[in-house]
Structure 1
Amino acid sequence: MADQENTVVLTDDEGQEHEFVVVDILNVEDDEYAILLPVASGDTGAGEAIVLKIGLDDDGNEILYEIEDEDEWQRVAQAWEDALGEEEEEEE
């Protein structure tokens, strides 16, 4: 994790670091998922949220990894949409 609270730095396949703001943590069927938005840095696709599953490595440290199962992805996406819908209703 980065020094700032609620931010993470992820390294891509090419070794470049990208900073993200943790927008929300979702609990879906006993698993946790992080909703991340890229920090404005001129990235193409900046502003597009990504969702990563929170897990533990062999040492018990939290790690983030991609969701590879399509059904799991759909459940998480629906939970995020539902959470956004509830938030909008509360603001009205």
Structure 2
Amino acid sequence: MSEAYGNDFVTLIDEDGNEVEFEHIDTVEYQGTTYLAFIPAELSIEEEAEVVIMQIVSEDGEEMLEAVEDDDIADAVFNMVMERAEAEEDE
């Protein structure tokens, strides 16, 4: 699944209707759902960046990204992404 998305940039619409470009930094599976992590594209990964967690949902057979509303799930996925990033840095 992660190869399909690769390391790429996406434009998301924020709650104010503004287009914001994000960089996809990781894809993780959590409790049977695929989640993608993004950071604002203008920031480097070393900076303190807001990580945006989105989930893949199927609607009418089409995959779409949707914001994760459940804070507990978002936190768990965020922690997985951070652990994986730290493990990569240690290598």
8 Å Cα contact 1:40-1:47 kept in structure 2? no
What is the RMSD of the two structures over their aligned residues, measured on CA atoms?
2.2
Q: Which runs of 4+ in 1 moved over 3 A?
A: none
* Alignment correspondent of 2:10: 8
| Alignment-derived partner of residue 71 in structure 1 | 72
- Percent of residue pairs identical: 28
Q: Deviations over 1:52-86 (max 9, x none)?
A: 1121222x222122222233123212211221221
Task: Flag the structure with larger Rg.
Answer: 1
For structure 2, list consecutive stretches of 5 or more residues without a partner in the other structure.
1-6
Paired AA for residue 11 in structure 1: I
TM-score w.r.t. the length of structure 1 is: 0.70
Q: Which structure's relative contact order is higher, taking Cα pairs within 8 Å and 6+ residues apart?
A: 2
**Count of residue correspondences:** 81
CA distance in 2, matches of 1:12, 1:71: 21
Helix, strand or coil at the partner of 2:29: strand
TM-score (normalizing by structure 2): 0.71
Q: Which residue of 2 aligns with 1:84?
A: 85
